[in-house]
């Protein structure tokens, strides 16, 4: 493969992986809503309480809380949490698959004859 093509493919892989993670996050949220809406609602309520607490801590007049709620910070926080979950699952999957392939390659590289290792008696 020419170096230019390899560089382009590497450059395109980052947006493609990001797009897949975005779509997987949306699918996770929709799936949670479909299966158990109360779980998603309780996570949303916990995020809303966090936004209220943060807004009250930063500004006692309530302007920061109003701004955070106007920008739907609690919904964005829920999306971010789901995205981190998807990213972690993907990273763990890649890590496990790489370790399995490395183990398989390491055992394939070992000689089959025990006398060729060294220790001749």
Kindly report whether the global pTM for this prediction surpasses the value 0.85.
no
Please give the pLDDT value at position 107.
72
On whether the CB atoms of residues 74 and 51 are closer than 8 A, the answer is yes
Please give the pLDDT value at position 91.
87
Please state, in angstroms and as integers, the Cα–Cα distance from residue 102 to each residue in 8, 89, 93, 106, following that order: 27, 20, 14, 6
Question: CA angle 48-54-56, nearest 5°?
Answer: 105
53's tokens: 């607490």
Closest CA to 43 of 21, 28, 55: 28
Separation CA 48–CA 55 (nearest Å): 10
Question: CA angle 28-83-52, nearest 5°?
Answer: 100
Mean pLDDT by 10 residues, the chain (121 residues): 75 80 92 91 92 89 89 91 91 88 71 57 48
């Amino acid at each position: 493969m020419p170096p230019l093509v390899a560089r382009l493919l590497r450059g395109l892989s980052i947006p493609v992986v990001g797009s897949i993670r975005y779509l997987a996050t949306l699918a996770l949220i929709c799936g949670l809503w479909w299966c158990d809406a109360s779980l998603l609602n309780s996570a949303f309520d916990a995020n809303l309480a966090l936004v209220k607490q943060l807004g009250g801590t930063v500004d006692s007049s309530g302007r920061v809380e109003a701004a955070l709620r106007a920008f739907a910070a609690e919904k964005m926080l829920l999306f971010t949490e789901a995205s981190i979950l998807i990213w972690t699952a993907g990273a763990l999957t890649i890590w496990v698959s790489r370790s399995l392939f490395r183990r398989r390659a390491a055992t394939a590289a070992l000689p089959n004859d025990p006398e060729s290792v060294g220790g001749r008696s």
